[in-house]
């Protein structure tokens, strides 16, 4: 009895089978990202017209050349992961002879746990609604369905099945295009109008039962930290980071333990006496480890590294570091993987970084000062202004305008200005003057935005930034003009003091109380009037680096 029913079903399908013309297949599947498609189902495969077209497109996306002869077509079909379903036994033989994989006969009874990225179908015209509803059910976890349907199925919804289909297509926002004469020149001709349907079903996000369980019973505790550390930063923000790390770490450990508990079930051989068994499904961690403890410890190490890197990517930290300090910090991530990501260790790191910021910027100030006044740039640097230093006459200061060599600011190919070739140097200069300015200068824009605009408009003259204007020339120089002469004075004063070019008692004695030798140095450096202004505003000129404390901001999203 079953055999007779299936023969009748096969005969009925054969009568309503219309092979898909190539132009119609191309129209149906236009716009797909073939490089993102791996698994395909053709549930009404016929003699393989649609499946063959799909195999050709997948072959081209992977190899960048079309299948053009029997050998390349055989390769295309073999390498494509296409499952075919076909109810007609003769057509199944044709498909298998072409090299296609036929996995079932009647699509309406097809059940699988395999996941497909694309279903492409031209079902029997008299039963298309049932077939498309089955495809929608099969793809409810996400993917794309491209279907050729008898247009009457959608235009004349007189059955409950057709009404259900129309409602689901509307809910999914399906693209529907009606085509007249689609099969007029086909292998089997018909004047029936066709509906080309494309349904893009969003991938369903799967909730983790492990994560849900861990949320109900967290395995970490609030850490007690000395009050002298918590006063320096926003403690609650750091604690939020640490809680997030601990939760993720605990969930990962549960996953490792769950996999270990299922290991016996996941082997590729049921015979547990086979010493050569290997797992079908293996939990892969990007680090080594032979036993559970080693795997857990290595997992924790990588997870700690991920969170330490996240801390270092926070703008409140990075924006205060010069390029050298940023490189130094990133180099330390590998070491920090071995340290627990805890409130105590984060606070301790921030305290150390605060000290390194000041030291690093002081080093950068001296480095910039030496660069700007170096003889190697020119026979005699135009940036140097000499004065009689402390027991030497070979001391100098930087003037309001600085000329710097800046090769590579313009692209060698199209000769256009490229901000990324020079921006880090200017960032370091701005950070130095931020340090010296101590938050007194308010500036609405950003350095990066100013240089991005210069690159976009290709206007590199008088680029306006917080502390200076800069003009970048194609000949390989950049001209900086400082906007605040008092701040430039502070820069020169800081560098000269660090180099020991000013009297040891500079800023501690009134001018009238200085020795004649000390007065001579001050006179040549800046003059009595400017020195007395420095004394009157000692909190500004002689206290660099105020307000440089790192305050960790909001956690990463």
* pLDDT tens, position by position, 132-166: 999 999 999 999 999 999 999 999 999 999 999 99
* Shared domain check, 228 and 105: no
More confident residue, 430 or 554: 430
- Residue 356 within a domain: no
Q: Are 521 and 497 in contact (CB under 8 A)?
A: no
Residue that is last in its domain, among 201, 236, 263: 201
545: left (phi over 0), alpha (psi -120 to 50) or beta: left
Lowest mean pLDDT among 31-35, 328-332, 513-517: 328-332
* Shared domain check, 456 and 340: no
- Residue 222 within a domain: yes
Task: Give residues with Cβ within 8 angstroms of 109, minimum separation 6.
Answer: none
pLDDT at 162: 95
* Shared domain check, 425 and 310: no
Give alpha helix (H) positions in 38-159. 49-63, 70-79, 89-98, 128-138, 152-155
* Mean pLDDT value across the chain: 83
* Shared domain check, 266 and 390: no
- Residue 556 within a domain: no
- Residue 551 within a domain: no
pLDDT at 184: 58
* pLDDT tens, position by position, 378-416: 556 778 888 888 888 778 899 999 998 888 889 888 889
**Domain CATH for 189:** 3.40.50.150
- Residue 110 within a domain: yes
HEC string of 78-110 equals: HHCEEEEECCCHHHHHHHHHHCCEEEECCHHHC
pLDDT at 113: 86
Does the structure show a pLDDT above 90 at 226? no
Identity of the highest mean pLDDT range in 228-237, 436-445, 505-514 = 505-514
Beta bridge partners of 102: 84
Looking at the structure of the chain, the number of domains it has is: 3
* Shared domain check, 284 and 400: no
Which residue range forms the structural domain that includes residue 383?
370-541
* Shared domain check, 160 and 53: yes
Lowest mean pLDDT among 210-224, 231-245, 335-349, 461-475: 210-224
Residue from 348, 288, 301 nearest 550 by CA: 348
- Residue 29 within a domain: yes
* Shared domain check, 333 and 250: yes
pLDDT at 147: 96
Lowest mean pLDDT among 24-33, 35-44, 159-168, 409-418: 409-418
- Residue 250 within a domain: yes
Does the structure show a pLDDT above 70 at 189? no
> What percentage of the chain exceeds 70 in pLDDT?
84
* Shared domain check, 194 and 225: no
Q: Are 483 and 469 in contact (CB under 8 A)?
A: yes
* Shared domain check, 102 and 24: yes
Residue that is last in its domain, among 146, 180, 201: 201
- Residue 335 within a domain: yes
* Shared domain check, 62 and 130: yes
* Shared domain check, 245 and 193: no
Residue that is last in its domain, among 201, 228, 251: 201
* Shared domain check, 228 and 375: no
């Amino acid at each position: 009895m079953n055999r007779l029913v299936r023969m009748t079903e096969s005969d009925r399908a054969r009568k309503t089978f219309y092979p898909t013309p190539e132009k119609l297949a191309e129209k149906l599947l236009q716009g797909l990202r073939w490089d993102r498609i791996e698994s395909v189902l053709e549930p009404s495969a016929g003699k393989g017209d649609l499946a063959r077209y799909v195999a050709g497109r997948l072959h081209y996306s992977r190899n960048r050349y079309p299948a053009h002869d029997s050998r390349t077509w055989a390769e295309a079909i073999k390498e494509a992961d296409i499952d075919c379903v076909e109810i007609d036994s003769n057509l199944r033989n044709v498909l298998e002879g072409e090299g296609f994989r036929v996995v079932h006969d009647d699509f309406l009874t097809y059940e699988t746990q395999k996941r497909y990225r694309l279903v492409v179908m031209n079902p029997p015209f008299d039963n298309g609604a049932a077939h498309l509803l089955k495809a929608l059910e099969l793809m409810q976890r996400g993917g794309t369905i491209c279907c050729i349907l008898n247009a009457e199925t959608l235009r004349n919804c007189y059955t409950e099945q057709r009404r259900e289909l129309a409602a689901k297509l509307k809910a999914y926002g399906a693209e529907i295009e009606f085509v007249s004469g689609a099969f007029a020149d086909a292998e089997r001709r018909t004047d029936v109008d066709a509906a080309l349907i494309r349904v893009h079903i969003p991938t369903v996000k799967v909730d983790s039962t492990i994560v849900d369980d861990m949320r109900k019973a967290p395995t970490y505790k609030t850490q007690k930290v000395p009050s002298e550390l918590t006063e320096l930063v926003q403690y609650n923000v750091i604690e939020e980071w640490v809680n997030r790390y601990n939760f993720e770490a605990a969930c990962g450990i549960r996953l490792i333990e769950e996999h270990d508990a299922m290991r016996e079930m996941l082997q590729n051989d049921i015979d547990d006496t086979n010493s050569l068994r290997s797992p079908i499904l293996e939990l892969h961690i990007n680090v080594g480890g032979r036993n559970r403890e080693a795997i857990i410890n290595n997992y924790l190490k990588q997870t700690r590294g991920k969170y330490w890197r996240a801390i270092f990517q926070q703008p409140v930290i990075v924006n205060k570091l010069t390029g050298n300090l940023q490189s130094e910090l990133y180099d330390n991530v590998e070491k920090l993987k071995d340290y627990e990501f805890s409130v105590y260790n984060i606070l301790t790191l921030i305290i150390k970084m605060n000290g390194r910021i000041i030291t690093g910027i002081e080093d950068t100030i001296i480095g910039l000062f030496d660069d700007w006044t170096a003889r190697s740039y020119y026979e005699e640097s135009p940036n140097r202004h000499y004065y009689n230093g402390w027991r030497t006459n070979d001391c100098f200061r930087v003037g309001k305008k600085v000329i710097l060599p800046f090769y590579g600011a313009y692209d060698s190919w199209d000769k256009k200005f490229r901000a990324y070739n020079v921006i880090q140097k200017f960032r370091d200069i701005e950070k130095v003057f931020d340090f010296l300015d101590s938050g007194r200068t308010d500036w609405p824009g950003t350095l990066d935005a100013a240089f991005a605009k210069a690159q976009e408009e290709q206007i590199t003259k008088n680029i306006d930034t917080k502390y200076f204007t800069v003009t970048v020339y194609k000949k390989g120089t950049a001209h900086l003009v400082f906007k605040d002469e008092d701040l430039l004075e502070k820069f020169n004063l800081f560098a000269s003091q660090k180099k020991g070019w000013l009297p040891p008692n500079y800023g501690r004695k009134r001018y009238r109380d200085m020795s004649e030798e000390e007065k001579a140095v001050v006179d040549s450096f800046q003059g009595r009037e400017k020195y007395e202004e420095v004394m009157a505003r000692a909190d500004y000129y002689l206290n660099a680096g105020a307000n440089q404390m790192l305050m960790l901001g909001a956690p990463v999203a």
